[in-house]
Amino acid sequence: MSTDEQQQDAPASEVPQDRLEAMAAERDQFKALAQRAQADFINYKRRTDEERPNIARTAVGGLLARLLPAVDDLDRAVDALPADAPASWAEGVRLVRQNLDALLEAEGVKRFTPAPGETFDPAQHEAISQLPSAEQPAGTVLTAVRSGYRYGERVLRAAQVVVAREPG
């Protein structure tokens, strides 16, 4: 019998006890690590599966949110069209705005403009100031300064409003 074979066949009792314990501890350590890694992976997979449909939405939502200031600018341009502007040119600018609205709507983005008297709701409205008002009850929207946008359930951008307070 060669030396190698002798070592392989050596009964466990011949392995020093402390070495056995160290090996067992190391085994437990790696086992725990493997279990944790597996649990991490299962959770990660579940979450990415759940999030997958949202990832596209989040990416599109991010792009749309950045696009909205340009839409606001176009709104202002339409509002400020000079009276002596050539009719066909003015109509063209309005059509660009309409097309953009149609595109946003097709993507599931909905514009909302709170009406005066609507209850102020910080979940979708952002108060930029507060003014005394006899027409609207306190705590309601006095005027909308900038429209808000919803993308599915999510508020892409809150509508900026002036909130009414008690007069005097």
Partner 1 sequence: MAKVIGIDLGTTNSAMAVMEAGEPTVLENTEGGRTTPSVVAVNPKSNERYVGMAAKRQAVTNPENTVYSAKRLIGRKFAEVSSEIRSLSYEVKAGKGGDAAIVMGGKEHTPPEISAMVLQKLKADAEAKLGEPVTQAVITVPAYFNDSQRQATKDAGTIAGLEVLRIINEPTAASSPTDWTRRMTRSSPSTDLGGGTFDISILHIGDGVFEVKSTNGDTHLGER
- 8 A C-beta contact, residue 158 and residue 137: no
Please report whether residue 155 would count as binding partner 1 according to CB under 8 A.
yes
CA angle 128, 73, 139 (to 5 degrees): 20
Query: Which of 23, 42, 55, 58 is close enough to bind partner 1 by CB under 8 A?
Result: 58
Nearest to 136 by CA among 148, 150, 118, 121: 118
Query: Which of 4, 123, 134, 168 is close enough to bind partner 1 by CB under 8 A?
Result: 123
CA distance 129 to 117: 15
Please report whether residue 114 would count as binding partner 1 according to CB under 8 A.
no
Please report whether residue 63 would count as binding partner 1 according to CB under 8 A.
no
Q: Which is nearer to partner 1, 103 or 128 (CB)?
A: 128
13: its two tokens: 């009792």
The binding track of 23-42 with respect to partner 1, each residue x by CB under 8 A or -, is -------------xx-xxx-
